[in-house]
Copies of this chain bind each other. A is one copy, B any other.
Amino acid sequence: MELRDLVNDHPCHMVLLVIDGLGGYADADHDSELEAARTPNLDRLAAEGSCGLALPAGPGITVGSGPGHLALFGYDPLEYDLGRGVLSAVGLGVDLRAGDVAARGNLATLDDQGLVNDRRAGRIDDRRARAIVETLRQKVRLDDVEVSFEHVSEHRVLLVLRGDGLDPRVKDLDPQRTGVAPLEPTATHPDAEHTAEVLGHLDTAVRDALAGEDADTVLWRGFDTLHELPSMQEVFGVRPAVVATYPMYRGVAQLVGMEALPKVGSLSAQIELMGRHWDDHDYFFAHEKEADRAGHDGERDAKIAAIEAVDTVIPELVALAPDVIAITGDHSSPTQLSAHSWHPVPTLLWGSKVGRDAVESFGERACATGMLGHLRTQDLMPLMLASAGRLEKYGA
């Protein structure tokens, strides 16, 4: 049995709201950030619906945003392994083709001995970074390989290489710390020797081009090539749309076939945008980044405030009257760790057919007792479809 065989075309509206890095954990001193946040609207949805704890890639595995979102869209994140470069490229609207190699890079400064001084080129601003990327576009040329650069945000740059015989199996050039030299291009598979050579030439050309600029080099990482993913239309029979604003999340959404609606700003604006396209789609993906950012920075109060800010917008989402709302995170980002983590992610499912469990508030320990149990994140999608009346009975 394939899930697709059970899908009907019953009209409905499903909304997935991802609060990035939502999960955390309680310790001897504190409740988790979500437990500590004042969230009357989320609590109401939790009380009216069912809750659980979701694991994006299994026990103990900490995921990045790519696999975390693939799981939320119903895909097995261990089967579809996406690099950061591909995700960014698709999110920026870059026309990636099969065989292209993409990578993400940081504009960085080097000291007199060529050691990494600042991995973000002094937290360079968008305006100056865009000018530097323009310089790279004009000056960097390679034999036989087409190079393109895109500015992502602040110090973040995207690289796409197009040419014969390219292979993404090369190590990161970004050493991920300061005081050491950028790493030499190294193939991890014999077929990628040519690509490693190309990267050597690229590195020289980039440093030459940046002489006298605010950044001295670009530290590349996450080399990848485009893999084909089956679309959500094929797998789940939905007409999905993304209203998220950040490139990476738009990128992974488009990789699974979501239509990218215009880029807006706040979560409130994303919800308003959904409303304007309400009749064109049956599945919407909205995304709010702030809780994860605060988690990364280890700022407990900021993470609590970010979650409370999401809470205030929930009534606008409910006002659209979707059949099903799922609210969860792509992974946990506890402020105690200042990083993504493996801790299971609080998850709520709301809708007239969902059923009500005993959970009365949205939080990690409350969700541990919920009716959804401990679920794989990728199982949220079939639960959303079922709750929207979109899945027929299996068997007589």
Contacts and interface: CB of A to CB of B under 8 A. Distances in A.
A66 interface: yes
Contact of A373 (B84, B355, B368): B368
18 contacts: A1-B81, A28-B48, A28-B356, A59-B376, A59-B382, A60-B385, A63-B394, A64-B396, A66-B396, A339-B393, A342-B386, A343-B355, A358-B365, A358-B368, A358-B369, A368-B370, A369-B369, A374-B374
Given A355-B27, A357-B365, A358-B368, A67 B394 contact: yes
Given A62-B393, A355-B27, A382-B58, A365 B374 contact: no
| Chain A, interface SS category | loop
A25 B357 CA distance: 8
Contact of A393 (B63, B336, B380, B387): B63
- Copies of this chain present in the complex amount to 2
A9 to B, nearest CB: 16
Interface of A: 1, 3, 6, 24-28, 32, 48, 53, 57-68, 77-78, 81-84, 87, 104, 222, 248, 334, 336-337, 339-344, 352-358, 364-365, 368-371, 373-376, 379-387, 391-396
A361 to B, nearest CB: 13
Contacts of A392: 62
